[in-house]
Structure 1
Amino acid sequence: MLRFSGAGVSDVGRVREHNEDSAFVAPYVALVADGVGGAAAGEVASATTAYVVSATALTRFGERLEPLVVDAVAAARASLVHGVRMDESREGMATTLSVVLCDGARVVLGHVGDSRVYLLRDGGLRQVSRDHTYVQQMQDTGQLTAQEAASHPWRNVVLRSLDGDPGSDPHDIDVVELDVREGDRLLLCSDGLTDLVEDARIAEVLRLEDPHSAAAVLTQSALVAGGRDNVTCVVLDVIEGPLVVGDGRLLGAVQEAANIVDPAAVHLPDAADPAPRSPV
């Protein structure tokens, strides 16, 4: 059976006062969520989304992956809407989300925003998520080249995200099956990495044998390049092995229970638990 073996690192960076990134790493689910910069309570949006999505995925292991992703994201959005109703100062809070789920045979990606997912296979790197940004839209319509987009002043303008607006489409997320096999390596990361570190350097570091070392060196590369944003990197090896039971690891803002909006309201595990636990 396929599963993930990996690790992650999340760092506040050299400029920001607190970390608005959240991440989760477990054998059958991993994700990165980045609270949208400049919006209210970005850390609450990312932490709530990371917790709700990971808990939903773990408690429903074995179900068909595509509707599971849609349901998990809808539950997260409902929690964000509830969070704004509880505290109007949170109005405008939003987050990106990149989540990968594995059922032992297939891997499915759920993605919204400008965090990214890359696949390293046989030493070659390619991006398997699509940025939901203004400059990506301009690239798609031929108005910008990739080189121009990399330095465009609006490159961080996100067109789609998870937010607490009750009028938002709860299913506005890309859900795609990934072509992965044993020996592949996945990288999930926030734009605190990709805004500062070129793909060639990312590929070079991902060739390190140990996933934790790769995640740590990638994070350090972003810090050396200026670290002007929070940076989170999750590195996953796709491996074959028996079904396992194990707790996941929470990273970043989701480690603080106070950042999670009323998880009991959506029948989630106790927010004080160190991490959602796989029922497998």
Structure 2
Amino acid sequence: MYYCCGVTDKGIMPHNEDALLINKSVIDSGSSEQNVSVPFIAAVSDGVSGERSGELASKMCLELVRDIDYSREVKLDDELLGIHQKLADYSRSDPEMHNMQATLCGIAVDETGNILTFNVGDSRLYRYRSGRIKQISRDQSLVQLLIDEGAITSEERKNHVHRNIIFPVFGNQKSAPQIDTVVLEGGMEYGDLLLLCTDGLSDYVSVLDIEEIIEMPKSLDMRLHMLVKKALDNGSKDNISIIAVAYYE
């Protein structure tokens, strides 16, 4: 069994362009707690800043992911590319929804407990284990490419002039996204947490801050709300969303 807890908050923004998926529930405001059995999918999506209809893009993306009848036999890459095409086609058919786009980061747990991670854009997946946080996903962004090439440091990422430039995401009409699907090496152990979040959190809360808050002897729901508050206190100017997934026998 798995316990999933999620929070999404519009922050200082007038609208929330983030959304969460926990099993079969898509949430675009507030919080949710669920005990779930395998197979299931959990994911976060962020309507791309500067693009029209971000709210609809993230919610529609996750509703289409929700409808995947996931199992170990499903070719998830193909299913996700199909979702990208549906978003692109929808935005072409309606001028009001022109160029609607969204990031997507999540996990798919099959009936045997194997965990497949997937990512498009700059939302993130972390694993918390034995008091330490490790980033599992890789940002699909220009600044990450510059870091990989040694042109800038990780610390310089926060204030880089091109920090908001990301590679093609779901719904992009010019290029299909490159979907990173990777089996989670080492899986999950008792006491682990998987954390999925949008950049409204990860850009403003350090790994050390996440570790400190996750270690607190409080309910998981309370700790996630504390992370949201920490991001706001640190000046987050974006919507903030996070899901925590815990495994128990």
Residue aligning to 2:17:
20
Q: Tell me which residue corresponds to 2:27.
A: none
Q: Please, which runs of 5 or more residues in structure 1 have no aligned partner?
A: 241-280
1:34 touches 1:46 (CA, 8 Å); kept in 2?
yes
Deviation of 1:223 after TM superposition, in Å, equals 1.7
The equivalences for 1:175-254 within 5 A come to 175-179=181-185, 180-183=187-190, 184-208=192-216, 210-240=219-249
Render the CA deviation track for 1:145-188: whole Å, top value 9, x for unaligned: 111122212112112311141x5336x20000012222210100
1:174-204 C-alpha deviation (Å, 9 max, x unpaired): 0000122222101000000011111110111
Match of 2:32 in 1: none
Q: Aligned residue for 1:81?
A: 88
Determine the structure 2 residue equivalent to 1:141.
149
The list of structure 1 runs, each at least 4 consecutive aligned residues, that deviate by more than 4 angstroms after superposition, is none
1:17-96 pair list within 5 angstroms: 17-26=14-23, 27=36, 28-56=40-68, 60-64=69-73, 67=75, 69-96=76-103
Count matched residues.
Answer: 230
Please give the alpha-carbon distance, in whole angstroms, between the structure 2 residues aligned to 1:64 and 1:139: 36
Change (3 A) 1:210 1:29: farther
Deviation at 1:239, TM superposition (A): 2.4
* Distance of 1:213 and 1:6 partners within structure 2: 13
Q: Unmatched 5+ residue regions in structure 2?
A: 24-35
Q: When the two structures are superposed, what TM-score results if normalisation uses the length of structure 2?
A: 0.87
**TM-score when normalising by structure 1:** 0.77
**Higher-RCO chain (CA-CA 8 Å, sequence separation at least 6):** 1
- Report how far residue 83 of structure 1 moved: 1.6
Residues 23 and 32, structure 1, Cα contact 8 Å, conserved in 2: yes
SS of residue matched to 1:84 = helix
How do residues 251-270 of structure 1 correspond to structure 2 at under 5 angstroms? none
Of 101, 111, 125, the match for 2:108: 101
Residue deviations 1:243-262, cap 9 Å, x none? Answer: xxxxxxxxxxxxxxxxxxxx
Whether the 8 Å CA contact 2:88–2:99 is kept in 1: the answer is no
CA distance in 2, matches of 1:31, 1:95: 12
Q: Residue 253 of structure 1 corresponds to which residue in structure 2?
A: none
How far is the alpha carbon of 1:227 from its aligned partner?
Answer: 3.3
Please give the secondary structure, in 2, of the residue aligned with 1:229: coil
